[in-house]
Amino acid sequence: MEYRPDANGEEVDRWKEVTLVYNSALKEVGTKLEILNDEFQHVHQYNPIEHIKSRLKSPESIVQKLRSKGYESTIENMVEYVNDIAGVRVICSFTSDIYRIAEMITEQNDLTVLSVKDYFQNPKESGYKSYHLLVTVPVFLSNRVVDVKVEIQIRTVAMDFWASLEHKIRYKYAGNAPEHIRKALVRCASMVSNLDDEMLALNREIQRLEEEEKRDKNKD
Ligand code: 0O2
């Protein structure tokens, strides 16, 4: 699946085509999200999206995932069984933005939602919190249209901070981090949840005060 010196011309061409299609899908979804964010800003004077990151899964990581699922490393298997080859991460400020963004995405007619994993309501044992949407997006090539899978992960800045460190640690220890480190990560995940709750409450209080001020001004 990677560029092996012994890969034949046909395999290399197929790999390049698959990469092009997944990259195009990332661009399609990225543009959609930017448009939705701009429109939201225009209507509500507020940006639910802080920033967007997108990436293509590395060939090594694809092979590892296929192996863990018991499949041979072929391009056909990767397209069929690896759902997060194209991944978009949407980072927002507040937990309330997560569902707002998910709803905006779900309402896009040309996207098909294949599955939803709500690790925000149901965090993983590790403490991982995030909202995952697996969608397909049509990519228009010169002679055909391909529906391409893209995994969209939506999470707050704080959850993303935690997930990035946990991901690094998981890779470093190949999933077998020492007990005290795992416990510390679970504690941090709980602090992240408390921080998210408090920041949301604070933001709501600020909005309430602003509304009150507006009402008072209108009375005068
Ligand atoms: P990487 O390096 O980010 O690509 P499925 O994809 O449905 O067949 P899976 O992998 O269980 O099976 O799906 P899930 O739970 O939706 O996870 C997909 C991705 O979510 C992961 O990809 C991570 O990016 C992220 N993720 C899931 N669980 C955790 C977690 O406990 N901690 C962190 N930091 N990230 C998580 P990869 O392939 O694991 O990694």
Decide if pLDDT at 16 tops 60.
yes
Over residues 134-184, the pLDDT tens digits come to 999 999 999 999 999 999 999 999 999 999 999 999 989 988 899 999 999
CA–CA gap between residue 183 and residue 127 (Å, rounded): 10
Ligand 1 atom index nearest CA of 84: 6
Q: How confident is the model at residue 83 (pLDDT cuts 50, 70, 90)?
A: very high
* Residue 186 within any structural domain of the chain: no
Beta bridge partners, 112, equal 136
CA 10 – ligand 1 centroid, Å:
31
* 131 against 214, higher pLDDT: 131
Average pLDDT over residues 116-142: 96
Q: Is the CB of 69 under 6 A from ligand 1?
A: no
**Does 188 map to a domain?**
no
Q: 160 CB less than 6 Å from ligand 1? A: no
**Does some domain include residue 178?**
no
Q: 111: exposed, middle or buried (C-beta count within 10 Å: 0-12, 13-18, 19+)?
A: buried
61 lines ligand 1 (CB under 6 A): yes
Atom of ligand 1 nearest to the CA of 69: 8
Quick: pLDDT tens for 178-188.
Answer: 999 999 999 99
Mean pLDDT of 77-82: 95
**What pLDDT is recorded for position 38?**
95
Q: Which atom of ligand 1 is nearest to the CA of 166?
A: 34
What does the alpha-carbon distance between residue 153 and residue 53 come to, in Å, rounded to a whole number? 10
Range of the domain at 105: 11-158
Q: List CB contacts of 49: < 8 A, sequence separation 6 or more.
A: 33, 36, 37, 90, 91, 92, 97, 101
What is the model's pLDDT at position 6? 53
Structural domain count, the chain: 1
Residue 200 lies in a domain: no
Decide if 114 contacts 136 (C-beta within 8 A): yes
CATH number for 67: 3.30.460.10
Inside any domain, residue 191: no
Residues 89-105 have a mean pLDDT of: 96
Predicted confidence at residue 7, as pLDDT, reads 63
What is the set of active-site residues? 151
Answer yes or no: is the C-beta of 162 below 6 A from any ligand 1 atom.
no
Q: How far apart are CA 195 and CA 201, in angstroms?
A: 10
CB-based contact 148:24 (threshold 8 Å): yes
Note whether residue 104 is domain-resident.
yes
Query: By the 8 A CB rule, do 58 and 41 touch?
Result: no
Question: CA 163, CA 199: separation in Å to the nearest integer?
Answer: 19
Average pLDDT over residues 118-144: 96
Measured CA to CA, the distance from residue 181 to residue 95 in angstroms comes to 26
The pTM of this model reads: 0.91
CA distance 93 to 103: 16
Residue 151 lies in a domain: yes
Mean pLDDT along residues 117-133: 96
pLDDT for 109 beyond 50: yes
Q: For residue 67, is pLDDT > 60? A: yes
Does ligand 1 come within 6 angstroms of the Cβ of 182?
no
The tens digit of pLDDT for each residue in 33-52 reads 999 999 989 988 889 999 99
Q: For residue 84, what are the contacts with CB-CB under 8 A and spacing of at least 6?
A: 57, 134, 151
CB atoms within 10 A of CB 65: 18
Q: Would you say residue 163 lies in a domain? A: no
